């Protein structure tokens, strides 16, 4: 079956926007680790939309933001690349029990707000290129 690029890009884009809204709601309700986790997922979906749009192929089955970004046909500023690598903590740390406790301790309100703000900025940067 042939890939419907426009439909697939729309699917990933809509999902990314929804997940960013979920991240915002979780931040407001004090669920800080999961606000950052959903911020990661929002970026992941947006990157998958860009990969599909540019390559006209399905995006890799991965949660790795740096790996997805490496599939893009664009030069990423070092600041963006560095943040993608940093945001990986939000995916791994919030999912696996041993690391989860340490991440929860780290995830104070200021930490979560600051980092979700960074997620929003990176999200905006990629969305402008979609």
Q: Output the pLDDT for position 1.
A: 75
Q: Output the pLDDT for position 73.
A: 92
**Secondary structure (3-state) at 64:** coil
8 A C-beta contact, residue 111 and residue 89:
no
> Would you kindly state where each structural domain of the chain is located, as residue ranges?
5-129
Span 5-129 CATH architecture: Up-down Bundle (1.20)
Q: Output the pLDDT for position 94.
A: 56
Mean pLDDT by 10 residues, the chain (130 residues): 94 98 98 95 98 96 96 95 95 70 89 98 97
d(CA 32, CA 9): 29
Q: Output the pLDDT for position 91.
A: 85
């Amino acid at each position: 079956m042939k890939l419907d690029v426009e439909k697939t890009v729309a699917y990933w884009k809509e999902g990314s926007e929804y997940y960013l809204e979920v991240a915002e709601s979780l931040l407001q309700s004090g669920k800080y680790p999961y606000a950052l986790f959903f911020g990661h997922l929002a970026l992941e979906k947006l990157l998958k939309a860009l990969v599909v749009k540019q390559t006209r192929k399905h995006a890799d089955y991965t949660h790795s933001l740096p790996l997805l970004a490496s599939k893009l046909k664009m030069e990423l500023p070092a600041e963006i690349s560095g943040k993608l690598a940093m945001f990986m903590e939000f995916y791994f740390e919030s999912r696996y029990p041993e690391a989860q406790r340490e991440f929860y301790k780290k995830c104070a309100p200021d930490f979560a707000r600051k980092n979700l703000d960074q997620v929003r900025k990176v999200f905006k940067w990629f969305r402008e290129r979609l």
